[in-house]
C-alpha cells in the first residue's frame, strides 16, 4: 500500500508539473506584447459579441500577438493528443486548431462546472453548506452508516465526506479508500465519485431542478455557449451500486 501510494503521489506530481510546464510554454509562445502593444489598431482592440459565425483576426500582430509564435503553437499542438483548440480575443477568433465542431465528453470537468452552478444557490441561501446528510434524509443502496450521515454538503463538494460507499461509476481513487466508518467527515480527502455524484443529487434536491436544466439556464445561455444541446445530456452509472448517477456532460 505504501509503494502504491508513493507511485500515485509521484504520478500526480509529475502530471501537475506537466500541466504547469504546458501553461508556461503556452504563455511564452503567445506573449508578444512588448513595444508593439501600444500601437494596436483601435478597431481590432474593440470587443464584439460574436454571432453564429465568428469574425477572424487576419493579422495577429494587430492585437498584440505573433504570427510566428502562433505557428509554433500549432506545431506543438500537433505533437500532442489535442482534439481542438480555439483562442478568442475581444470576441474574435485569433487561433483555431483541429475540429472545432467535435463533440467533447466532459468527465472530471463536470465537478468544476457543478461548482460554478452551486455558487448562486449558496449565495442566496438555497444550499446551506453546513447541512448534513442526516438533515437531508440522505441514503443509498444498502444504507449509510451513522457517522457517514454527519457529513455536510461542504464535505461532499470538497471530497472529504468520509463516506466510502461504492459509486455508480468508476474512475476515482476509491481503490485506496480507508475502510468504511474509519474516517470522520471532514478529516480525510479522497478523490471519490460518490461524493461528487451525491453533491449533484443534493443540488437537485435543494434547488428542485435538474442539473442539466440549470446548466442550460444559468450558464450555457447567459454566456452564449453556441453548441450546447440540452437534449444530449444524460446521466449514467450502475444504479445497483449507488442510486446517485454521474452527470457527465
Burial (0-12, 13-18, 19+ Cβ within 10 Å), 133? buried
User: According to the model, what pLDDT value does residue 242 have?
Assistant: 98
DSSP letters for 184-208: -TTS-----HHHHHHHHHHHHHHH-
Domain range list for the chain: 2-98, 109-232
User: According to the model, what pLDDT value does residue 38 have?
Assistant: 45
Chain segment 140-160, per-residue pLDDT in tens: 999 999 999 999 999 999 999
Instruction: Please state at what angle helix 109-123 crosses helix 193-207, rounded to 10 degrees.
Output: 40
Domain 109-232, CATH: 3.40.710.10
Residue 38: Cβ within 10 Å count: 8
User: According to the model, what pLDDT value does residue 47 have?
Assistant: 81
238, 139 contact by CB (below 8 A): no
User: According to the model, what pLDDT value does residue 45 have?
Assistant: 58
Q: Chain-wide mean pLDDT for the chain?
A: 87
User: According to the model, what pLDDT value does residue 23 have?
Assistant: 56
* For residue 37, pLDDT beyond 70: no
* For residue 9, pLDDT beyond 80: no
Of all residues in the chain, the percent with pLDDT exceeding 70 is 82
Look-up of cell digits 500526480? 12
Look-up of cell digits 512588448? 34
Look-up of cell digits 466508518? 181
65 DSSP assignment: -
**218 is written with which cell numbers?**
444559468
- Number of helices (H), then strands (E), in the chain: 7, 2
85, 95 contact by CB (below 8 A): yes
* For residue 67, pLDDT beyond 80: yes
Chain segment 48-61, per-residue pLDDT in tens: 888 888 999 999 99
* For residue 7, pLDDT beyond 90: no
Greater pLDDT, 228 or 52: 228
User: According to the model, what pLDDT value does residue 22 have?
Assistant: 56
Instruction: Please state at what angle helix 2-30 crosses helix 67-78, rounded to 10 degrees.
Output: 150
Amino acid at each position: 500500500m505504501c509503494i502504491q501510494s508513493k507511485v500515485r503521489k509521484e504520478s500526480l506530481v509529475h502530471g501537475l508539473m506537466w500541466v504547469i510546464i504546458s501553461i508556461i510554454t503556452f504563455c511564452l509562445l503567445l506573449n508578444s506584447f512588448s513595444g508593439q502593444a501600444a500601437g494596436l489598431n483601435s478597431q481590432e482592440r474593440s470587443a464584439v459579441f460574436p454571432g453564429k459565425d465568428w469574425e477572424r483576426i487576419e493579422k495577429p500582430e494587430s492585437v498584440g500577438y505573433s504570427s510566428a509564435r502562433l505557428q509554433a503553437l500549432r506545431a506543438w499542438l500537433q505533437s500532442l493528443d489535442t482534439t481542438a483548440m480555439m483562442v478568442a480575443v475581444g470576441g474574435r477568433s485569433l487561433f483555431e486548431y483541429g475540429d472545432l465542431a467535435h463533440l467533447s465528453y466532459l468527465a472530471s470537468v463536470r465537478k468544476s462546472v457543478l461548482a460554478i452552478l452551486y455558487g448562486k444557490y449558496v449565495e442566496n441561501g438555497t444550499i446551506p453548506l453546513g447541512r448534513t446528510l442526516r438533515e437531508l434524509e440522505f441514503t443509498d443502496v444498502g444504507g449509510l452508516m451513522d457517522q457517514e450521515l454527519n457529513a455536510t454538503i461542504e464535505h461532499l463538494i470538497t471530497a472529504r465526506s468520509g463516506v466510502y460507499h461504492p459509486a455508480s461509476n468508476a474512475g476515482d481513487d476509491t481503490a485506496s479508500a480507508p475502510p468504511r466508518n474509519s474516517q470522520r467527515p471532514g478529516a480525510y480527502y479522497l478523490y471519490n465519485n460518490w461524493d461528487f455524484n451525491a453533491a449533484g443529487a443534493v443540488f437537485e434536491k435543494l434547488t428542485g431542478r435538474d442539473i442539466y436544466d440549470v446548466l442550460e439556464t444559468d450558464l450555457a445561455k447567459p454566456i452564449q455557449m453556441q453548441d450546447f444541446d440540452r437534449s444530449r445530456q444524460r446521466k449514467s452509472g450502475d444504479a445497483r451500486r449507488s442510486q446517485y448517477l454521474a452527470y457527465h456532460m
